[in-house]
Amino acid sequence: MYSNGERTSLMSMPKIIKVPRRTLLVLCGPAGSGKSTFAAQRFTATNIVSSDLCRAMICDDENNQQVNRDTFELFYFIIQKRLFLGRFTVADSTALQSDARRKLRDLSRRFGYLGCLLIFNIPPEVCLERNKARHRLVEEQVIAHHAGLLERTLLDAPYEGWEQVHVLGEQDMDTRVEIEL
Ligand code: UTP
Ligand code: MG
């Protein structure tokens, strides 16, 4: 029997996610849910392939939705090159559409990679607050739309063939990711 204190400390222990080096870690969640922050705190910058950075690389503006097709062509192209070379890779995009997740899942399979989906289950109010506090503003209705897609994703993800699916809530932002040798 644990004392209250011990139980409290056990409950506050961070989650640990263990993955092999040949893993495609797919971040998934609404704008402002903390995906890029989570990735930047844990991984080398070059491990992370960010759709926003791809967008900025081709048009100097990470908000420009007019260049979506080229942005994602580049995004998948870089991921594919990394998987071909056996590099651990983090895909940083919202991945809230099932098509987008399927593409990433297919890529991971094609290269014999473990597909690990990390869903940021953060309430829209929190995403909105965080969005207001940063320089890159995302419109309020976009976050509402993302909240709906998130609900759908939480239902669908277990049936999409991922080797691992993890759902992170607000209290899980200290989750550790261990890459096994
Ligand atoms: P991010 O910029 O990491 O969100 O955090 P995101 O999910 O990648 O958003 P998109 O999809 O690219 O638009 C958004 C804001 O929230 C803060 C960050 O500092 C940033 O300003 N943040 C993030 C927190 O305050 N707490 C957290 O735990 C994570
Ligand atoms: Mg981001």
Q: Are 118 and 145 in contact (CB under 8 A)?
A: no
* Cα(132)–Cα(125) distance, integer angstroms: 11
Q: Which residues contact 44 (CB under 8 A, 6 or more apart)?
A: none
Probe residue for ligand 1, chosen from 130, 132, 146, 171 as the CB with the greatest number of ligand atoms within 8 Å: 130
pLDDT above 70 coverage of the chain, percent: 93
Q: What is the pLDDT of residue 11?
A: 60
Range of the domain at 47: 14-180
Q: What is the pLDDT of residues 84-130, one digit of tens each?
A: 999 999 999 999 999 999 999 999 999 999 999 999 999 999 999 99
Q: What is the pLDDT of residues 122-158, one digit of tens each?
A: 999 999 999 888 766 778 899 999 999 999 999 999 9
Q: Quick check: is 88 in a domain?
A: yes
CATH number of the domain encompassing residue 167 = 3.40.50.300
Q: Quick check: is 101 in a domain?
A: yes
Q: Quick check: is 84 in a domain?
A: yes
Q: What is the number of domains present in the chain?
A: 1
Q: What is the pLDDT of residue 1?
A: 36
Q: Quick check: is 6 in a domain?
A: no
C-alpha separations of 86 from 43, 72, 98 in Å: 16, 21, 25
Q: What is the pLDDT of residue 10?
A: 55
Helix or strand (DSSP H, E) at 113: none
Of residues 135 and 42, the one with the higher pLDDT is: 42
Q: Quick check: is 8 in a domain?
A: no
Q: Quick check: is 46 in a domain?
A: yes
* Cα(176)–Cα(87) distance, integer angstroms: 19
Q: Quick check: is 173 in a domain?
A: yes
Probe residue for ligand 1, chosen from 26, 37, 65, 172 as the CB with the greatest number of ligand atoms within 8 Å: 37
What predicted TM-score, i.e. pTM, was given to this entire model? 0.93
Q: What is the pLDDT of residue 133?
A: 83
* Cα(119)–Cα(28) distance, integer angstroms: 5
Q: What is the pLDDT of residue 134?
A: 79
CA of 131 to the centre of ligand 1 (A): 7
Q: Quick check: is 7 in a domain?
A: no
